[in-house]
Structures are given as structure tokens and as C-alpha cells.
């Protein structure tokens, strides 16, 4: 019994990763400038949430039907 999983959630995970990286880079650049700015932490958490949504969508695969299941 083989179950093929699609590519669902790949774009969402990629978008979440990019948002997290941008938030991390922005927060590091503001720290280098000497002014700690904590508003970019929300951007990192937003990216993590979007990534988690993509991971959940990608984890949902096609369930095998009862007719194709081998006993």
C-alpha cells in the first residue's frame, strides 16, 4: 500500500522561512546600530506561525480508501 503525498504547503513554508529570516536580519542590524528594536520579534513569530501552517498543510496526505487497502 503506497500513499503519495503532494507538495501542499511548500510555498507556505518557504514564505514563512523568508519572513523569519528577514525578521532576524532586521533585528540583528538594529542591534548593530546600537538601538535595540523589539518590534522585529513579532515578525519572527509571524514567520514561525506561517511556517507551522505550511507544515500542517504538507503533513496532510491522501488517506488510502478502504477499497484499496490490502488485508
Residue ranges of domains in the chain: 10-59
C-beta separation of 26 from 50 below 8 A: no
- What's the confidence (pLDDT) of residue 36? 75
C-beta separation of 40 from 30 below 8 A: yes
Rg (CA), the chain: 19
- What's the confidence (pLDDT) of residue 33? 85
- What's the confidence (pLDDT) of residue 15? 95
Residue-wise pLDDT for 12-70, tens only, equals 999 999 999 999 999 989 988 888 777 888 899 999 999 999 999 887 765 555 555 55
- What's the confidence (pLDDT) of residue 68? 56
Reply yes or no on whether the pLDDT at 4 is more than 80.
Answer: no
Size of the chain, expressed as the number of residues it contains: 71
Which whole-number Å values give the CA distances from 17 to 36, 41, 62, 63, 70, in the listed order? 23, 14, 25, 28, 39
- What's the confidence (pLDDT) of residue 45? 95
Amino acid at each position: 500500500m503506497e500513499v503519495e503525498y503532494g507538495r501542499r504547503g511548500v510555498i507556505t513554508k518557504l514564505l514563512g522561512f523568508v519572513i523569519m529570516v528577514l525578521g532576524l536580519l532586521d533585528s540583528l542590524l538594529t542591534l548593530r546600530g546600537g538601538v535595540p528594536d523589539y518590534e522585529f520579534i513579532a515578525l519572527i513569530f509571524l514567520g514561525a506561525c506561517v511556517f507551522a501552517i505550511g507544515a500542517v498543510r504538507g503533513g496532510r496526505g491522501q488517506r488510502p480508501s478502504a477499497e484499496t487497502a490490502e488485508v
